[in-house]
Every structure is written in structure tokens, then in C-alpha cells.
């Protein structure tokens, strides 16, 4: 049983640097590198950091195809197929998720495996000889950044989770960490890791050759989002957390290399040809166009049968499912709608599908080896978080200024005009709901919606909000299933079995 704990929390780094055995404690492969002997040079550390970044690409962590754990949990997307793969993917949107769900377990393990890679780097970096000392601090900052955003995924989805910040080499070392640390402790570690990055010599933005690596702009933006989430999640220090959120989001905003957001067309943000030069992008996962191993598949995956807008790859399926509830929320003349979604009118597929991520160029080939980067942080996000935090602080006038930046770029009326429209006012009667609406249509399918919902509503409020939606606009997944338990995912069954007391299950499961 303890061996399973160890594998879950500590094995990934061995696999990432070449060891072939599944038992970390029994390495008999003569070609395997013992972890304690791996770091010798500065380049060894760089390769390990690259391996940590690589873990972000996985569909089981936060890569482009990880929407099952975010968007498909929300009211934006969700499959109308309750049979495929034993019906397990369907459970996420149907609010019938079981602790035994294999996709849930894979997500949990992948996030911890990514954390393990970072812990391995941080526990062994002092063993390497550095010719440039600043690089040592920067590599450590990058490892801490990756660990922080992985824990941010975990704590928002599961609440209290095991907190491990060092390499674990034996079963005896692992056992003391098999307990759920309080959410506040996890958030404090996330904040500490991110703040350490601000003390490094990382650039404000990565140079062209380092697109896909973190920067001080990204760290400030994530700190802002973390503090904003803490203000909504933790019972204490709300005012202080909001103040910190405003401080770090403003710092990220002031680093921008453009004047007004409206200078950057919305379509440029997702243009494969401009992904290295678009000034709105802050942090992204890089994919390589035309490469069988490192290309993006999101354009082809989202394309519906009979369509050619996303990719040259011929589709035989329904593509990326879009809920009618989202379609109905777009305002008239919102240019983001026509760019983000399209109605497929094939004889066998008549439904809305996602068109936001496109690469129909010859370089992507008929196999759909696209060049889309997966954007994890961009300036519209920073701007709308500044609107949110100022609204929560009672600074409505400032909040509206930020809200209008995004609306103006989208060609929409400013908020003062929009709220005079009876339809808009009826749908979004408060500034809070107006900001939430703007985030929904601005970041549709970017894996933001579920986090926006759980940040803006208590568990009880979320149930009320979702159940007020028409079932006919939601699909075959049942809104009637949602209860307060669905604010968090269940702890995977195998993890609870390890210690039912210390790894206690979330309520309702």
C-alpha cells in the first residue's frame, strides 16, 4: 500500500530522465541514471526544467486537451454521449462523478507527477556546477512556478490536498505526507513559490527563443489570480487578499508592451502565425506545427464532420461540443461569437462546434499537426481580474473602466450603454454578473469557466445558479444532479484507501 503512495507522489521524475523500472527503489537497469547522481552540470538542470515544463502539455494536467476537468465541468461544453469509455467522461458534466473514475485518478496522479519533477530539481540543484549563478536562481524559480500552478489546479478542484515540497526517496519518507493539508497551507506554499520567482533575474517577458517559459509578468498575473481566489475561498483575510490581488495584477498590467487592448485584434490572439509576437500573450504552452510528436491537435479535434474551418484533417465526428446555454449568452454582434463557434450543417451533424483554435494551413498537413500554442495567461484575463477585484473592493467606477477595455476590443457597447438595453440588464442585473458574463464569452473554451464559477459563487449559490438554467440548453447531462458536493471533486478512491482518516473523502461522495 505504501508503495502505491510512493509511486503516486514520487515516481514521475525517474521516468522523465530515463529510468525504465517502475519501482523507484529497485533500479537494476544499467542504463538508468541514479537520481542522486543525475545533476552535475548547468545543462543537466536545464534539461530537467525542460522536462518539468513538458509535463504541462499533458491532457491529464493542463494542456490543450485537458478541458474534461474544467470546461466540461461547466455550462460551456460537455459531451452528449453517456456510453463511451464506460460513461466515465460523461460523469464530469452530469455531476455524477464517482471517486473510482479513472480519468479523475489520472488527473490527480499527473498533477502530482509534475510536482515531483519540480521537487526533484529543487532538492538536487545544489549538486550541479553553474557557470552562470543567475541561471541557478532562475531555474529554481521556474521549478517553483510549475509546482505552484500545479498545486493551484489541485487546491481549486479538491480543496485540502497532500502538500509535498521535497524529493521523497523512500517509502518511509513518503508516509508522513499522506494526509490532506489545509487549503490555507497549500495556498501559502503557492504564494511563497511564486514570490520567490520575483526575486530572480527572470525577464519580464521571455525572449523569442524562450516562448513557453515563465516570466515576471506571468508570475505577477498568477499571484493576482491566486490572491483573488483566496479572497473568495478562505474565510479569513479577505480584504488583505483582495489588496494583494490588486497589487500583483496591477504590476502585471503595468508590464504590458502595448497601449490599449483594442490595439490587438481578438483574432490575433489565436493566430498561429502571430503566437510568438502577439503582445497580449503572457504565458503559453508551446506546440510545434507539423511535428508528429509536438504539434497541437486542438484544431482538428474540435472540427465537426463536413467542415474545413479548423483543419485540413477530415473529421468524421461532432467536433468540440458547445452548449446552447453559451450560444444564447452571446450578445448580438459580438465578434467573438463568429470567431469562436460555428453551426455544423452536415447531414449527420447539426450542432454548434468550437472554431476558436484553427490551423488549416498546409504546414499542419492533412493529419492535423497544428501549430496552436495553448494560452494559459493573457492580458484580457489580467484586465478582467482587475475589474473583478475592484468591484469586490467597492471601486465600481474603476472596475467598469477595466470591463470596458475588453468590451471595446470586442466591438461591444461600453457597460453604461449596455445596461440600458433591457435584455442585457435582465440577464446581467449586477456588475458582478456583467463581469462574469464578459469572462465567459472572452475566454470560452480556454478552461477558465469552471474556475470563474467556483470563485464567484459559494457552493449553495452555484447550485442555485446552475439549476436556474433551462435543461434544454444544457444537453443530456442533468442539471438536476448538481448539489453542494460538486464544488469539489471527490478524492480518488485509491487515495482514500491509503488512509481513510488522513485522506478523508470530500462531503457528499
Asked if residue 243 and residue 166 are part of one domain, the reply reads no
Q: Would you say residue 309 has pLDDT above 90? A: yes
**Residue 478: inside a domain, yes or no?**
no
Asked if residue 80 and residue 190 are part of one domain, the reply reads yes
With the CA atoms of 68, 71, 73 and 79 taken in that order, what torsion angle do they form, in degrees rounded to the nearest 10?
Answer: -60
Task: Provide the residue count of the chain.
Answer: 509
Q: Which helix H or strand E contains 239, and what residues bound it?
A: helix 238-254
**Residue 467: inside a domain, yes or no?**
no
What is the rounded CA–CA span in Å between residue 325 and residue 483?
20
* The predicted structure's pLDDT at residue 38: 84
Q: Which of 313, 346, 372 is the last residue of a domain?
A: 372
What is the rounded CA–CA span in Å between residue 5 and residue 390?
43
- pLDDT grade for 171, boundaries at 50, 70 and 90: confident
Q: Which three cell numbers stand for residue 135?
A: 541561471
* The predicted structure's pLDDT at residue 170: 85
* The predicted structure's pLDDT at residue 36: 65
What sign does the CA torsion over 307, 313, 314, 319 have? negative
Asked if residue 100 and residue 4 are part of one domain, the reply reads yes
Structurally, the chain folds into a number of domains equal to: 3
Asked if residue 78 and residue 124 are part of one domain, the reply reads yes
Q: Are 318 and 352 in contact (CB under 8 A)?
A: no
Q: Can you tell me the mean pLDDT for 403-415? A: 98
**Residue 472: inside a domain, yes or no?**
no
Q: Which three cell numbers stand for residue 211?
A: 516562448
User: What are residue 351's DSSP bridge partners?
Assistant: 344
What is the rounded CA–CA span in Å between residue 201 and residue 472?
53
Q: Would you say residue 217 has pLDDT above 50? A: yes
Asked if residue 62 and residue 121 are part of one domain, the reply reads yes
Give the model confidence (pLDDT) of 248-306 as tens digits.
999 999 999 999 999 999 999 999 999 999 999 999 999 999 999 999 999 999 999 99
- DSSP assigned state of 365: T
Burial grade of 103 (CB within 10 A; 0-12, 13-18, 19 or more):
middle
Q: Would you say residue 17 has pLDDT above 50? A: no
What sign does the CA torsion over 353, 81, 372, 308 have? negative
* The predicted structure's pLDDT at residue 25: 29
Give the model confidence (pLDDT) of 85-102 as tens digits.
999 999 999 999 999 999
> How high is the mean pLDDT of the chain?
93
How many other C-beta atoms can be found within 10 angstroms of the C-beta atom of residue 207?
9
Asked if residue 117 and residue 76 are part of one domain, the reply reads yes
* The predicted structure's pLDDT at residue 450: 98
Q: Which of 325, 346, 372 is the last residue of a domain?
A: 372
Asked if residue 391 and residue 344 are part of one domain, the reply reads no
* The predicted structure's pLDDT at residue 49: 97
Q: Can you tell me the mean pLDDT for 145-157? A: 98
Q: Can you tell me the mean pLDDT for 386-398? A: 98
Look up the CATH number of the domain holding residue 499. Answer: 1.25.40.890
Rg (CA), the chain: 22
Angle at 7 between CA 73 and CA 116, to 5 degrees: 70
Q: Would you say residue 231 has pLDDT above 50? A: yes
What is the rounded CA–CA span in Å between residue 175 and residue 168?
10
Q: Would you say residue 15 has pLDDT above 90? A: no
Q: Which of 313, 341, 372 is the last residue of a domain?
A: 372
Q: Which three cell numbers stand for residue 330?
A: 452571446
Asked if residue 408 and residue 335 are part of one domain, the reply reads no
Look up the CATH number of the domain holding residue 209. Answer: 1.25.40.390
The distance from CA 371 to its chain's CA centroid, rounded to whole angstroms, is 19
What is the rounded CA–CA span in Å between residue 499 and residue 505?
10
Asked if residue 268 and residue 218 are part of one domain, the reply reads yes
* The predicted structure's pLDDT at residue 37: 77
Asked if residue 442 and residue 416 are part of one domain, the reply reads yes
**Residue 310: inside a domain, yes or no?**
yes
Asked if residue 186 and residue 62 are part of one domain, the reply reads yes
Q: Which distant-in-sequence residues (6+ apart) come within 8 Å of 355 by Cβ?
A: 302, 309, 310, 339, 340, 341, 342
Q: Are 443 and 381 in contact (CB under 8 A)?
A: yes
Structural domain span for residue 381: 203-284+375-456
**Residue 45: inside a domain, yes or no?**
yes
**Residue 276: inside a domain, yes or no?**
yes
Q: Are 177 and 2 in contact (CB under 8 A)?
A: no
**Residue 311: inside a domain, yes or no?**
yes
* The predicted structure's pLDDT at residue 18: 32
Q: Would you say residue 6 has pLDDT above 70? A: no
- pLDDT grade for 8, boundaries at 50, 70 and 90: very low
Give the model confidence (pLDDT) of 428-474 as tens digits.
999 999 999 999 999 999 999 999 999 999 999 999 999 999 999 99
Asked if residue 316 and residue 304 are part of one domain, the reply reads yes
**Residue 471: inside a domain, yes or no?**
no
Amino acid at each position: 500500500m505504501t508503495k502505491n503512495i510512493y509511486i503516486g507522489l514520487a515516481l514521475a521524475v525517474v521516468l522523465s530522465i530515463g529510468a525504465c523500472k517502475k519501482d523507484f527503489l529497485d533500479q537494476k537497469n544499467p542504463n538508468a541514471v541514479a537520481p542522486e547522481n543525475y545533476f552535475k552540470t548547468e545543462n543537466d538542470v536545464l534539461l530537467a526544467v525542460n522536462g518539468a515544463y513538458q509535463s504541462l502539455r499533458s491532457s491529464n494536467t493542463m494542456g490543450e486537451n485537458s478541458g474534461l476537468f474544467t470546461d466540461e465541468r461547466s455550462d460551456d461544453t460537455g459531451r452528449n454521449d453517456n456510453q463511451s469509455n464506460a460513461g466515465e467522461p460523461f460523469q464530469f458534466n452530469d455531476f455524477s462523478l464517482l471517486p473510482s473514475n479513472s480519468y479523475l485518478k489520472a488527473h490527480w496522479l499527473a498533477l502530482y507527477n509534475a510536482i515531483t519533477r519540480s521537487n526533484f530539481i529543487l532538492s538536487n540543484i545544489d549538486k550541479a556546477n553553474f557557470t552562470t549563478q543567475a541561471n541557478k536562481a532562475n531555474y529554481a524559480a521556474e521549478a517553483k512556478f510549475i509546482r505552484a500552478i500545479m498545486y493551484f489546479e489541485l487546491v481549486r478542484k479538491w480543496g485540502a490536498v497532500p502538500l509535498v515540497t521535497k524529493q521523497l526517496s523512500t517509502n518511509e519518507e513518503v508516509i508522513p505526507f499522506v494526509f490532506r493539508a489545509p487549503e490555507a497551507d497549500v495556498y501559502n506554499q503557492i504564494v511563497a513559490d511564486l514570490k520567490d520567482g520575483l526575486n530572480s533575474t527572470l525577464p519580464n517577458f521571455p525572449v523569442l527563443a524562450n516562448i513557453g517559459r515563465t516570466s515576471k509578468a506571468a508570475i505577477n498575473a498568477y499571484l493576482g489570480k491566486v490572491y483573488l481566489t483566496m479572497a473568495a475561498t478562505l474565510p479569513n483575510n479577505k480584504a488583505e487578499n483582495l489588496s494583494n490581488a490588486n497589487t500583483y495584477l496591477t504590476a502585471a498590467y503595468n508590464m504590458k508592451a502595448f497601449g490599449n487592448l483594442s490595439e490587438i485584434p481578438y483574432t490575433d490572439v489565436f493566430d498561429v502565425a502571430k503566437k510568438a509576437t502577439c503582445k497580449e500573450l503572457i504565458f503559453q504552452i508551446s506546440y510545434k506545427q507539423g511535428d508528429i510528436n509536438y504539434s497541437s491537435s486542438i484544431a482538428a479535434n474540435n472540427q465537426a464532420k463536413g467542415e474545413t474551418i479548423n483543419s485540413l484533417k477530415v473529421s468524421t465526428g461532432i467536433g468540440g461540443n458547445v452548449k446552447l446555454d453559451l450560444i444564447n449568452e452571446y450578445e448580438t454582434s459580438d465578434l467573438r461569437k463568429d470567431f469562436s463557434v460555428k453551426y455544423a450543417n452536415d447531414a449527420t451533424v447539426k450542432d454548434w462546434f468550437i472554431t476558436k483554435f484553427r490551423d488549416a494551413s498546409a504546414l499542419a498537413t492533412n493529419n492535423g499537426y497544428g501549430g496552436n500554442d495553448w494560452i494559459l495567461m493573457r492580458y484580457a484575463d489580467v484586465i478582467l481580474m482587475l475589474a473583478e477585484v475592484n468591484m469586490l473592493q467597492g471601486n465600481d467606477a474603476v472596475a467598469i473602466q477595466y470591463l470596458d477595455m475588453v468590451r471595446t476590443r470586442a466591438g461591444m457597447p461600453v457597460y453604461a450603454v449596455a445596461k440600458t438595453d433591457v435584455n442585457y440588464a435582465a440577464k446581467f442585473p449586477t456588475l458582478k454578473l456583467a463581469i462574469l458574463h464578459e469572462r465567459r464569452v472572452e475566454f470560452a473554451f480556454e478552461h477558465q469557466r469552471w474556475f470563474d464559477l467556483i470563485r464567484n459563487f459559494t457552493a449553495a449559490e452555484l447550485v442555485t445558479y446552475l439549476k436556474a438554467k433551462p435543461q434544454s440548453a444544457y444537453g443530456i447531462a442533468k442539471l438536476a444532479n448538481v448539489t453542494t458536493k460538486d464544488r469539489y471533486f471527490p478524492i480518488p478512491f485509491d487515495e482514500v484507501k491509503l488512509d481513510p482518516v488522513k485522506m478523508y473523502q470530500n462531503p457528499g461522495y
